[in-house]
Amino acid sequence: MPELETVSHTLAHGRFQSPLRYPGAKSSLAPVIARIITSAKQSEEVPEVNLLVEPFAGGASASLRMIGEGVVDRILLADADPLVTAMWQVAASDTEQLIDRMHDEWNRYVCHGGQTAVDRWDYWRAWTPKPGTTASTRRLEYATKCLFLNRTTFSGILHGKAGPIGGRTQASAYPISCRWNPVSITERLRYVGHLYQVGRLVDVWCKDWRRTLDDVPEYYPQLLPSRVVAYLDPPYVEKSSVLYRTSFDPRGGYRGDAVDDSLPSADALHLKLAEYLRTKAQFRWLLSYDHQPLLTESQWLYARNQMTPTKADRELLNVRSWRISKRLVTTRYTAAGRTGKRSAEELLITTLPPSTVPIDDQLRLIH
């Protein structure tokens, strides 16, 4: 990979870096993730992390933090939702054009509030590309739709069940414009553009988690097995279809390969992800979940303490039998449907070298 250029944007060490708001965004977890990866880099097995891959990119708060703090060299974002990937793609490669569109939407519709803004919200909710629309125009419109709805919809949720902030009558103390700060959004979009310009954001893929994890070895074979790390933060086990436009179930795009129809949809797909990470992942990974005891109690999820690839995958794909470490972390973040911050137990699971994963009051060992 080419030599690194310096990240010189003022937001590199900022608290809020993502242009998107996301339900349950794990920005408060980013320092813990950074600590785990930094500790792993002290080992002989993982002397450096040249690429961090985020298959459930969403708001990408963790990746943006890792690159800004210099924890990893480069990041690759992927998401199954075409709206989300279009936003990141345009923010990266056509930054000023998206900024112009954002300001235009603000000046013509959002800042006026009331029915004018709600009507525009309805327009974007219903918008689909017309036949014959060029690929570049379609991508820009998708990006604008994503940014508009994310900034004006309850908790930033892109799913059709969520309504505009402040309600349709706009009688709330929090109007539809309350999460739209043009100056702040401009700065964050330019941060994304800067990362792309200096080669720190290498690409944005519109792919589900399975295709992303399968394709990384094809595109970056020189980084296998330990110079590339995947950070996965899957949608909530119980609420994904409510919170996300493309949810982690068979009706959305976060599914892996075909699943047994006899299994509950969400459960089956979380099982598929667990099976892949335990048996087929060709590079190191770090996974975060809202903690539920079943995650570490079920042999079909993450009860095992070591990867168990098949003989064929070991020989043909060089899949390793890495040890699996698990830690509990207490975090505080905003969740959809709640006011203010809430404390929650976050489960971190990783194949980074076990001897480097800290155990202390912040990162508690699971017994």
Query: Given this model, what pLDDT does residue 148 score?
Result: 98
Q: What is the pLDDT of residues 18-74, one digit of tens each?
A: 999 976 556 789 999 999 999 999 999 999 999 999 999 999 999 999 999 999 999
pLDDT tier for residue 233 given thresholds of 50, 70 and 90: very high
**pLDDT-above-70 percentage for the chain:** 87
Q: What is the pLDDT of residues 111-139, one digit of tens each?
A: 999 999 999 999 999 999 999 999 999 99
Using an 8 Å Cβ cutoff, are 333 and 62 in contact? Answer: no
pLDDT tier for residue 341 given thresholds of 50, 70 and 90: low
Question: Can you give the pTM of this predicted structure?
Answer: 0.90
Sort 257 into a burial class: Cβ within 10 Å, 0-12 / 13-18 / 19+: exposed
Query: Given this model, what pLDDT does residue 251 score?
Result: 39
Query: Given this model, what pLDDT does residue 253 score?
Result: 43
Closest CA to 190 of 99, 73, 293: 99
Question: Comparing 94 with 27, which gets the higher pLDDT?
Answer: 94
Question: Comparing 258 with 192, which gets the higher pLDDT?
Answer: 192
Query: Given this model, what pLDDT does residue 161 score?
Result: 79
CATH 3.40.50.150 placement within the chain: 10-80+207-365
Query: Which of 11-15, 227-231, 264-268, 324-328 has the lowest average pLDDT?
Result: 264-268
Q: What is the pLDDT of residues 246-285, one digit of tens each?
A: 444 433 444 443 334 444 456 788 999 999 999 999 999 9
Question: Comparing 181 with 366, which gets the higher pLDDT?
Answer: 181
Side chain identity, residue 210: R
Query: Which of 2-11, 63-72, 201-210 has the lowest average pLDDT?
Result: 2-11
Which tokens hold the place of 262?
A: 């006899």
Using an 8 Å Cβ cutoff, are 359 and 350 in contact? Answer: no
Average pLDDT over residues 229-242: 71
Query: Given this model, what pLDDT does residue 259 score?
Result: 37
* Mean pLDDT over each residue of the chain, to the nearest integer: 90
> How many Cβ atoms from other residues are within 10 Å of residue 99's Cβ?
20
CA distances from 109 to 79, 187, 324 (A): 29, 21, 51
- What is the number of residues in the chain? 367
Q: From CA 110, how far away is CA 312, in angstroms rounded? A: 56
Cβ-Cβ contacts under 8 Å for 254 (sequence gap 6 or more):
56, 80, 208, 209, 234, 235, 240, 244, 246, 247, 248, 269
Q: What is the pLDDT of residues 344-358, one digit of tens each?
A: 899 999 999 999 999
pLDDT tier for residue 220 given thresholds of 50, 70 and 90: very high
Query: Given this model, what pLDDT does residue 335 score?
Result: 53
Q: What is the pLDDT of residues 146-176, one digit of tens each?
A: 999 999 999 888 876 799 999 999 999 999 9
**pLDDT-above-90 percentage for the chain:** 80
Average pLDDT over residues 87-92: 98
Cis peptide before 225 (omega within 30 of 0): yes
> How many Cβ atoms from other residues are within 10 Å of residue 130's Cβ?
9
Query: Given this model, what pLDDT does residue 249 score?
Result: 43
Closest CA to 52 of 183, 243, 220: 220
- The CA-CA-CA angle for residues 141, 146, 147, to 5°, reads 100
In CATH, what is the architecture of 10-80+207-365? 3-Layer(aba) Sandwich (3.40)
Query: Given this model, what pLDDT does residue 315 score?
Result: 97
Using an 8 Å Cβ cutoff, are 293 and 238 in contact? Answer: no
Cβ-Cβ contacts under 8 Å for 13 (sequence gap 6 or more):
68, 69
Side chain identity, residue 332: R
